[in-house]
Amino acid sequence: MQRIGFLLYPGFQVMSLAAVSVFEFANLENGSAAYDISFLSETGGSIISSIGLATETKAFDGEHVDTLLVTGAVGLASTSPGIQRYVGEALTHTRRLASICTGAFVLAEAGVLDGRRATTHWAVAREIQSRFPKIRMEEDRIFVVDGTVWSSAGMTAGVDLALAMVEEDLGADLARRVARMLVVYHRRAGGQSQFSALLDMHPKSDRIQTALSYARRNLKEPLSVEQLAEAAHLSPRQFSRAFRAETGQSPAKAVEILRLEAARLMMEDGRHPVDVVARETGFADRERMRRAFLRGFGQPPQAIRRNAQRDLNA
């Protein structure tokens, strides 16, 4: 049985503990306990989260675990020298040392991330990078694996990280069953972007949101302005004017962004040939998709796929 420890400290963010359910359901789906979960802190006893929820913990002094996951907090709050020392020493005796969200800051303070690839929540990635310039920060990743050190992006990305650990330990089939039980994707690839195109465009009205949702469901179609305007119940002229006012870009550019996001996910998934990805996402042919990838990501589709596979196999 593997021992999984979650390191808590005052002000930790409760969503960091969502990953606990991955290991809990792995035990259930496995039919026997593969994981023993413990909650650790410097002092032991009750540790209060940022929202006021108390969690009972054991003092980490003398505690050794196979996998140590450091929880995140709201913002970047320095931890005690004792926590930094424990995390730094954990690198030598744990099989995996991981951070969830801003837990990367704790790993950075302990010197664990020096010279390593890592990620964290996009909102604080550059600040951590500026404070700890030796980190090779990959701020647009869901999670990153560098040797025995794992790191994940914002809080829900800890679920993806934990599913990847279960897959490594118990196989892909069981990890898929756990994902189904938790009603989540199996699983977002580590190289997948943290950002959502629809969220980034943040349309203000229901009509423009409806048109964008229609576009995302029908990427294989030509998606002319007339089609999108009809979905929004506006004239083409009204639609184009309202669309640019709300999103800051033309309908054609927005559709390309949605196509790029979908194509990138399919490339990272690795199950479909490039020609199929291009056809299913509305680029028509691989050369047109390649040019769009170079404009959008600065890399061709094959490089995106190689990077995702490298993360999975690291």
109 shares its domain with 210: no
Nearest one of 226, 220, 210 to 284, comparing CA atoms: 220
Banded pLDDT at 193 (limits 50, 70, 90): low
- Terminal-residue alpha carbon distance, the chain: 23
- CA dist 277 to 30, 301, 310, Å? 35, 10, 20
Determine the pLDDT at residue 227.
Answer: 95
Per-residue pLDDT of 156-166, as tens digits, reads 889 999 999 99
Domain encompassing residue 240? 197-313
What CATH number should be reported for the domain holding residue 235? 1.10.10.60
Q: What is the average pLDDT across 46-55?
A: 96
User: Is the CB of residue 108 less than 8 Å from the CB of residue 131?
Assistant: yes
Determine the pLDDT at residue 271.
Answer: 84
- Tell whether 188 is covered by a domain: no
With a CB cutoff of 8 Å and minimum separation 6, the contacts of 175 are 26, 163, 164, 166, 167, 186, 187
Determine the pLDDT at residue 286.
Answer: 93
13 shares its domain with 140: yes
Determine the pLDDT at residue 71.
Answer: 96
175 shares its domain with 31: yes
42 shares its domain with 175: yes
Question: Please, what is the average pLDDT of the chain?
Answer: 89
Q: Which of 115-119, 129-133, 188-192, 219-223 has the lowest mean pLDDT?
A: 188-192
227 shares its domain with 170: no
Q: What is the average pLDDT across 192-204?
A: 61
What CATH number should be reported for the domain holding residue 151? 3.40.50.880
Q: What is the average pLDDT across 108-126?
A: 93
232 shares its domain with 115: no
29 shares its domain with 158: yes
Per-residue pLDDT of 292-314, as tens digits, reads 999 888 889 998 888 777 665 65
- Tell whether 187 is covered by a domain: no
- Tell whether 208 is covered by a domain: yes
85 shares its domain with 230: no
Question: Number of structural domains, the chain?
Answer: 2
- Tell whether 10 is covered by a domain: yes
Give dist(CA 118, CA 145) in Å, integer.
7
Last residue of some domain: 154, 182, 210?
182
Banded pLDDT at 226 (limits 50, 70, 90): very high
276 shares its domain with 138: no
CA dihedral of 104, 105, 107, 112, whole degrees rounded to 10? 100
Question: Is the dihedral angle over the CA atoms 311, 108, 12, 154 positive or is it negative?
Answer: negative
Per-residue pLDDT of 204-224, as tens digits, reads 788 898 899 899 899 999 999
Last residue of some domain: 182, 217, 240?
182
- Tell whether 191 is covered by a domain: no
How many Cβ atoms sit within 10 Å of the Cβ of residue 117? 18
101 shares its domain with 61: yes
Last residue of some domain: 182, 209, 243?
182
Determine the pLDDT at residue 314.
Answer: 53
219 shares its domain with 175: no
Residue 113 has pLDDT above 80, yes or no: yes
Give dist(CA 172, CA 176) in Å, integer.
6
- Tell whether 189 is covered by a domain: no
- Tell whether 49 is covered by a domain: yes
- Tell whether 285 is covered by a domain: yes
